[in-house]
């Protein structure tokens, strides 16, 4: 059984992932995780989140995947002792010292090896397994053919996880020094400022390396901008059968710093695609791709899955984000089969607008906003205030957890 693993940058995002079909979520406490800028969870919040997820049959993996310095190990030991009380299903580590300490402090804890460890061979995977790892998150620089080969040359007791959607680092599985050099914010300690996404001016049309003058690296400007390092986002929705047959145990979605809308939509699209394959009668639905186009992202590509060549990777022609559809409201509660629901506002919209309703396991459905009411059920023409609660009457039935978004109809 393949696992769909979704990001959970905070509780709202975790709830969205679970509602829209994640089998497991990965998140971080407030220390030792590779996304220091995410909201992350206090230990008290983490304990509550794990209990909630387990109540829904969803596993929780906690990232402890920075490379701690010598003076931090005392605090790391204390953190692991407290983390164990939260009862997550696994911790994700990248550093051998952290792995050793987890085994000492939490001897029964499942250990996953982070993509930061750069595992690109069966030999590396077997070595981590021998050290006590239950799972290895493969480096993102592997082709699908290489992953299949690794699977064939590793024991069935070792699980393999791979990123199938989201942002790609220009450096080797995130082992990047650029942020530290330019901003003194260490990417390997969770504080990356993403300078690879910045706009660099071109002073020459070609770059060469002094000892390799025959290798020419052309640079191009688009409207005066040059994104020479910004990688395309990986999107493998068009290749689910190949992924399902590769032997990968867990399909991972990147994006703990993205929105709850992103988490819901991306999880939902891949859940539908995986479920279609599991029926034994897989039929590709182009609407899955349209769903993924609706979230904030850079240009999509297939990462390294089908080629190791830089030509296949292509840095973005436009380093900026392709903006997502407006997330208008979330349905808080409603009666079964009702077209009226209590909602919380995310963006302003009006009576009479055409919107889309997104439900778990379905693509967006067009609907008309027939009426809006305040919390006293008095008619209103719009919902202008962020986070305000209101009632909506639509032309189609809705249910709790549905997303109302700007129309693509």
Dump pLDDT digits (tens) for 148-190. 999 999 999 999 999 999 988 766 666 676 677 667 787 766 7
Q: What integer pLDDT is reported at residue 307 of this predicted model?
A: 77
Dist CA 53 CA 57 (whole Å): 6
Parallel, antiparallel, or unpaired for β 389-394 and 340-345? antiparallel
Per-block average pLDDT, block size 10, for the chain (409 residues)? 96 97 94 62 95 98 92 94 97 96 98 94 98 96 95 98 89 69 71 73 56 60 59 93 98 94 97 98 96 90 78 55 81 94 96 96 97 96 95 97 90
Which pLDDT belongs to residue 310? 46
The string of DSSP codes covering 171-194 is: SGGG---HHHHHHS--GGGT----
- The reported pLDDT for the residue numbered 193 is 81
What is the helix, strand, coil percentage profile of the chain, to 5?
Answer: 30, 25, 45
In the prediction, which pLDDT does 274 show? 98
Q: How far apart are the first and last CA of the chain?
A: 36
Per-domain residue ranges of the chain: 3-168+232-313, 174-218, 327-406
Answer yes or no: same fold for 3-168+232-313 and 327-406. no
Q: What is the pLDDT of residue 110?
A: 98
Max Cα-Cα span within the chain:
74
Backbone angles phi, psi at 312, to 5 degrees: -70, -30
Is the whole-model pTM more than 0.85? yes
- How far apart (Å, rounded) are the C-alpha atoms in residues 231 and 240? 22
**What is the CATH topology of the domain spanning 3-168+232-313?**
TIM Barrel (3.20.20)
Integer angstrom CA distances of residue 102 from 26, 76, 83, 115: 17, 9, 10, 18
What is the reported pLDDT for 179? 73
The domain 327-406 is placed in CATH, from the list 2.40.160.40, 3.20.20.140, 2.40.30.10, 3.40.50.300, at 2.40.30.10
Residue 183 has what pLDDT? 76
> Is the CB of residue 19 less than 8 Å from the CB of residue 264?
yes
Tell me, what's the pLDDT at 194? 78
Q: How far is CA 236 from the centre of its chain?
A: 13
Note the pLDDT of residue 286: 97
| Res 141: pLDDT | 87
pLDDT on residue 321: 60
Element (H, E) at 366: strand 365-373
| Virtual torsion, Cα 175, 179, 181, 184, nearest 10 deg | -120
């Amino acid at each position: 059984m393949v696992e769909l693993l979704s990001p959970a940058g905070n509780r709202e995002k975790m709830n969205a992932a679970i509602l829209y079909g994640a089998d497991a979520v990965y998140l971080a406490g407030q220390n030792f995780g590779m996304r220091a800028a995410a909201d992350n969870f206090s230990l008290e919040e983490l304990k509550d989140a794990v209990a909630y997820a387990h109540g829904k049959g969803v596993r929780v993996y906690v990232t402890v995947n920075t490379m701690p310095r010598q003076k931090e190990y005392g605090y790391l030991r204390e953190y692991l002792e407290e983390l164990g009380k939260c009862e997550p299903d696994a911790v994700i580590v990248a550093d051998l010292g952290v792995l050793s300490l987890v085994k000492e402090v939490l001897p029964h804890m499942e250990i996953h090896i982070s993509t930061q460890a750069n595992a690109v061979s069966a030999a590396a995977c077997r070595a981590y397994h021998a050290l006590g790892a239950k799972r290895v998150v493969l480096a993102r620089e592997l082709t699908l053919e290489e992953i299949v080969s690794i699977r064939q040359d590793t024991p069935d007791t070792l699980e393999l996880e791979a990123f199938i959607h989201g942002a790609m680092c220009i450096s080797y599985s995130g082992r990047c020094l650029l942020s530290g050099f330019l901003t003194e914010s260490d990417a390997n300690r969770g504080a990356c400022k993403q300078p690879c996404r910045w706009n660099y001016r071109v002073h020459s049309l070609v770059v060469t390396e002094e000892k390799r003058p025959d290798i020419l690296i052309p640079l191009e400007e688009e409207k005066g901008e040059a994104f020479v390092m910004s990688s395309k986002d990986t999107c493998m929705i068009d290749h689910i059968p190949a992924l399902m047959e590769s032997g990968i145990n867990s399909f991972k979605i990147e994006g703990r710093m993205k929105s709850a809308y992103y988490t819901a939509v991306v999880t939902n699209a891949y859940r539908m695609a995986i479920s279609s394959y599991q029926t034994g009668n897989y039929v590709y639905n182009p609407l899955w791709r349209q769903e993924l186009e609706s979230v904030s992202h850079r240009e999509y590509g297939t990462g390294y899955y089908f080629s190791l060549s830089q030509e296949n990777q292509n840095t973005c022609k436009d380093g900026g984000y392709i903006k997502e559809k407006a997330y208008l409201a979330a349905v808080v509660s409603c009666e079964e089969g009702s077209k009226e629901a209590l909602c919380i506002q995310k963006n302003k919209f009006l009576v009479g607008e055409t919107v889309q309703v997104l439900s778990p396991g379905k693509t967006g459905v067009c609907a008309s906003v027939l009426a809006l009411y305040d919390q006293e059920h008095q008619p209103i023409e719009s919902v202008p205030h962020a986070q305000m609660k209101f009632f909506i009457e639509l032309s189609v039935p809705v249910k709790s957890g549905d997303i109302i978004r700007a129309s693509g109809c």
